[in-house]
Amino acid sequence: MSSEAITSSEYIRHHLQNLTCSLQQGHFHCAHTAAEAKAMGFWAFNVDTLLVSFVLGTVFLFFFSRVAKSPAPGVPSGMQNFVEWVIEFIDNSVRGSFSAKNNLVAPLALTVFMWIFLMNFMDLIPIDWVPMLAAKLGVGHFKVVSTTDPNATFGMSISVFFIVLYYSIKMKGLGGFAAELTLQPFGKFGLPANIFLEGVNLIAKPVSLSLRLFGNMYAGEMIFILIAIMGGTWAGFTLVNATLFGSQILLSLGWGIFHILIITLQAFIFMTLTIVYLDMAHQEHH
């Protein structure tokens, strides 16, 4: 962030703008404003979202694979206890929501839960730390919470959607899957209504998955930004600086503690719906 005074609107826009870049005329160019990012079109990509999500995914794979390959004999370490607890939690969730047999579902559920949880957890980093560090490195914008970017949430939900489609066709056959879309719920005489209702139901799955996660995390990020703006506004009242600064700390701490529940719940909901959708894909309707 610049040391010059900025308005509240500029502060909000700065924190909500991704580091958007694209290849233009053989040169790698990054947008400085939202208008420039929009002008880059479809082939632009958000470098911060890609980088943070990749690093967090690598961290997850590194620690979980390390524990899995060399479990400590005797008394387990804290990391091993944590990994075992998470795996047991995921295993119980899969057993409770998935009635068929598929060895892909539990690893997929574990990956979805931990990856989204880690991306959500970045929202607990103080709101100005990463932008200040990015500014020192010469980067104008850098969003550290990947799940506040709809490109990330839609990317994950569409991936889950394609897996659901794959198993729907694999388990029921192309004819059985087509029959579900055309013959339910009103039978062969309600074909147009069936296609409309089942088509909407099918498309709503990835849309609801992505927008639910994005909406909740975006709203949480906005509240942190508004608390930071309140602190900056209060700083002008010199006689009560200490009290108002303390109030800002309490607000941030209170929302941060409550936000721990939100980031965990959103990862859990995304994982649970993924399991449920895959269970539905394995069920044959007669």
* Residues with catalytic function: 208, 212, 216
CB 229 within 8 A of CB 11: yes
In whole angstroms, what is the distance from residue 122 CA to residue 269 CA? Answer: 18
For 83, residues 6+ apart whose C-beta sits below 8 A from its C-beta are: 63, 64, 67, 68
In whole angstroms, what is the distance from residue 211 CA to residue 204 CA? Answer: 10
Q: What is the CA radius of gyration of the chain?
A: 23
Q: Give 250-253's long-range contacts (Cβ < 8 A, gap of 24+).
A: 251/227, 252/126, 252/224, 252/227, 252/228
CB 152 within 8 A of CB 146: yes
User: Which two tokens mark 183?
Assistant: 């013959």
CB 133 within 8 A of CB 1: no
Query: Collapsing DSSP states into helix, strand and coil, what is residue 6?
Result: coil
Runs of H (alpha helix) within the chain:
8-16, 34-39, 47-69, 78-97, 105-121, 129-136, 150-183, 191-234, 241-282
